[in-house]
C-alpha cells in the first residue's frame, strides 16, 4: 500500500495562528502556534481517525507545505 503525503491546515485567530500537519498513515503530526511577537510553539501530536472532520468543524482550511515549513524552520 502506498503511503499518503502529510496534509496541512491552518486557522487564523485574532492575534495568533495555528498550523497543523497530519500524517494520514498513522495520524501523527505537528501543531505550530504562531504568536504575534513571532514566538512559535511546536507540539508533536497523535490524532484519531476523525481528525479531518474535527479540523473542518473547527474551521481550519488547507494550507500548503511551504507555508508550514517556513514557520517550522523558525522553531528553536
Q: With beta carbons less than 8 A apart as the criterion, state whether 50 and 57 touch.
A: no
- pLDDT score of 3: 80
pLDDT value of residue 1? 60
pLDDT digits (tens, 9 = 90+) for 16-71: 999 999 999 999 999 999 999 999 999 999 999 999 999 999 999 999 999 999 99
Q: How far apart are CA 57 and CA 36, in angstroms?
A: 25
Position 47 scores a pLDDT of 97
pLDDT band (50, 70, 90) for residue 2: confident
Mean pLDDT of 8-19: 97
Amino acid at each position: 500500500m502506498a503511503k499518503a503525503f502529510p496534509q496541512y491546515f491552518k486557522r487564523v485567530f485574532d492575534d495568533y495562528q495555528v498550523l497543523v500537519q497530519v500524517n494520514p498513515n498513522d495520524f501523527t503530526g505537528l501543531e505550530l502556534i504562531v504568536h504575534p511577537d513571532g514566538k512559535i510553539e511546536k507540539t508533536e501530536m497523535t490524532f484519531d481517525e476523525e481528525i479531518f472532520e474535527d479540523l473542518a468543524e473547527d474551521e481550519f482550511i488547507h494550507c500548503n507545505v511551504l507555508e508550514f515549513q517556513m514557520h517550522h524552520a523558525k522553531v528553536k
